[in-house]
Amino acid sequence: MRTRPTLTWTNPGPSLPRTSTLADVVPIVERGGVLVLSGAGLSTESGIPDYRGDGGSLRKHTPMTYDEFTGSEAGRRRYWARSHVGWRTIAQARPNAGHHAVARLSPRLCGVITQNVDGLHQAAGTPDVVELHGGLDRVICLDCRRVTPRLDLDHRLREANPDFAVTTDEVNPDGDVFLPEEQVRGFRVVPCADCGGVLKPDVVFFGENVPRPRVEQCCSLVDGARSLLVLGSSLTVMSGLRFVRRAASAGIPVVIINRGETRGDPVASHRVDLPLGPSLTELADLV
Q: Which residues are catalytic?
A: 133
Binding-site members for NAD(+) are 39-59, 115-118, 232-234, 258-260, 276
H, E, C per residue of the chain? CCCCCCCCCCCCCCCCCCECCCCCHHHHHHCCCEEEEECHHHHHHHCCCCCCCCCCHHHCCCCCEHHHHHHCHHHHHHHHHHHHHHHHHHHHCCCCHHHHHHHHCHHHEEEEEECCCCCHHHHCCCCCEEECCEEEEEEEECCCCCEEEHHHHHHHHHHHCCCCCCCCCCECCCCCECCCHHHHCCCCCCCCCCCCCCEEEEECCECCCCCHHHHHHHHHHHHHCCEEEEECCCCCCHHHHHHHHHHHHCCCCEEEECCCCCCCHHHCCEEECCCHHHHHHHHHHHC
Binding-site members are 39-59, 115-118, 141, 144, 192, 195, 232-234, 258-260, 276
What values do phi and psi take at 56, rounded to 5? -60, 150
Scored b (16 or more CB within 10 A) or e, 86-125 reads bbbbbeebebbbbbbbbbbbbebbbbbbbbbbbbbbbebe
Binding-site members for Zn(2+) are 141, 144, 192, 195
